[in-house]
Amino acid sequence: MLARRAPNSVRLPQPADIHLNPTHPQPLQASKQSDDPELKYWITVHRVSGIGPARFNQLLRHFGSIEAAWRAPFSELAAAGIGQENARSLEEMRQSSDPDREAETLDRLGISAVRLHYSGYPKSLSEIYDPPPVLYYRGILKESEPDAVAVVGSRRCTAYGREMARRISTGLAASGVSIFSGLARVIDGAAHRAALDAGGRTVAVVGGGLDSIYPNEHAEMAAEMVAAGGAVISEYPVGVRPKPEHFPRRNRVISGLTRGVVVVEATRKSGAMLTVKWALEQDREVFAVPGSALSDNSEGPNWLIQQGAKLTVSHLDVLEELGIAAQMAGPAGAGSVNPAPTQGELGVDSLARKNNGTDIEDRVSRHLVAAGAPCHVDEISRSTGIRIAEVTSALTVLGLKGIVDEVGPMTFVAQKFAQESAAAGAQ
């Protein structure tokens, strides 16, 4: 849940503060003001409280351009249909601000901007119901990014959730997919970090102005993302502090910029599930990582799967659904991702996970029963000869069936032994 207090934030390192890796292209782009004379009026009017996407459209319909609205007398502003209070706010902004100085401020901070209906604005975002009138960004903003996926989840996730976010994001980034998320703690941060470590592109959409970053512990990672050829994006002007009500709106931008959303862990009422709501309205794909039926953090993804979301235990599930060719993250033993067999290769239902006629779930459950004690995923894989990705998938399904319990990070036990242990401890 969003905290109802003023969040702490930190200044995003300025361009001179960022030590760029010479193997990466220079990420910062020049302001588009020289190419778009109208832009300076958009970014100035955008700073007027109360003038959002709907009222921007109203001004465009009435005046034909934002420059014309900026120069219009108050009587015409009041008749434009944006409301008297907003017309007065725009009049006050006109008396206290200068569009040229507003554009110069962005240049000085190393922040670029692009407006709706102009070259450079992401096409996929322009097609949603209420696209932001102006996008501010540091790094590289692409007008077209067909292979982009959002990875989102709870800020109070389990070790399982963090590991699944890391594995899925690593595999996707290694296959050339751009990883989008919200720079929040835990799942978002794990997704961004995994993409960076895999040498891929990752983009953060934040809930405040780009002159500060929230949470402050991710400011350094945000600068690293920019330096590595990614981006940090916001629909909020410079000087706007992150507020709880900004983040639900931010989530529509995350889904709007991508082809699909992967939900790793989330309660039924969470920001991640709001992102799914936006994704469905925007006709994006929804992927869900299953988890224990006993975990509140898996309530959201498990429910989504029941509603028809793609059950996702590997990056390959996402790639297959989106028609993107999979690639290895690197040579064996150097952080490579072992591909799990596709449903077509297995020739059976995705929940059965049969391999060479043997039921993997049955082999994993029999191993845990024989062990009579908690076993780590790595140990199960070594003992059974089953790939870790398949073991993880089987354990997830066994957990949903109530056959095994997760008793530690990536550590599982047959449920009857977990119950006996709990009973013994109670005596």
* Chain segment 368-404, per-residue pLDDT in tens: 998 888 999 888 988 888 887 788 878 887 887 788 8
Q: Phi and psi at residue 7, in whole multiples of 5°?
A: -70, 150
CATH number of 1-33+110-339, picked from 2.60.40.10, 1.10.3430.10, 3.40.50.280, 3.40.50.450: 3.40.50.450
- Indicate where the chain has its CATH 1.10.10.10 domain(s): 343-426
Which phi-psi region, left, alpha or beta, contains residue 412 (left: φ > 0; alpha: ψ -120 to 50)? beta
Distance (Å, whole) CA 21 – CA 7: 31
- The DSSP letter of residue 64 is S
Which of 398, 400, 378, 399 lies closest to 389, judged by CA? 378
Q: What is the pLDDT of residue 419?
A: 58
Burial class (CB in 10 A: 0-12, 13-18, 19+), 373: exposed
- Indicate where the chain has its CATH 3.40.50.450 domain(s): 1-33+110-339
Q: DSSP strand E in 44-189: where? A: 112-115, 134-139, 148-152, 178-181
pTM (whole model) above 0.85: no
Residue 262 host element (H or E): strand 260-263
Question: Cα–Cα distances in Å, from 158 out to 53, 163, 186, 281?
Answer: 37, 9, 9, 29
171 CB contacts (<8 Å, ≥6 apart)?
314, 315, 316, 319, 326, 329, 337
Question: Cα–Cα distances in Å, from 181 out to 202, 222, 273, 289?
Answer: 8, 12, 13, 16
Give mean pLDDT in consecutive 10-residue pieces for the chain, a chain of 427 residues.
31 35 36 74 94 92 95 93 93 94 93 94 95 96 95 87 94 96 93 96 96 90 96 95 87 96 92 92 95 89 94 94 73 38 39 45 89 88 83 81 84 74 47
pLDDT in tens, 74-118: 999 999 999 999 999 999 999 999 999 999 999 999 999 999 999
Topology given in CATH for the domain delimited by 343-426: Arc Repressor Mutant, subunit A (1.10.10)
Q: What is the pLDDT of residue 245?
A: 83
- The DSSP letter of residue 179 is E
Q: What is the pLDDT of residue 23?
A: 33
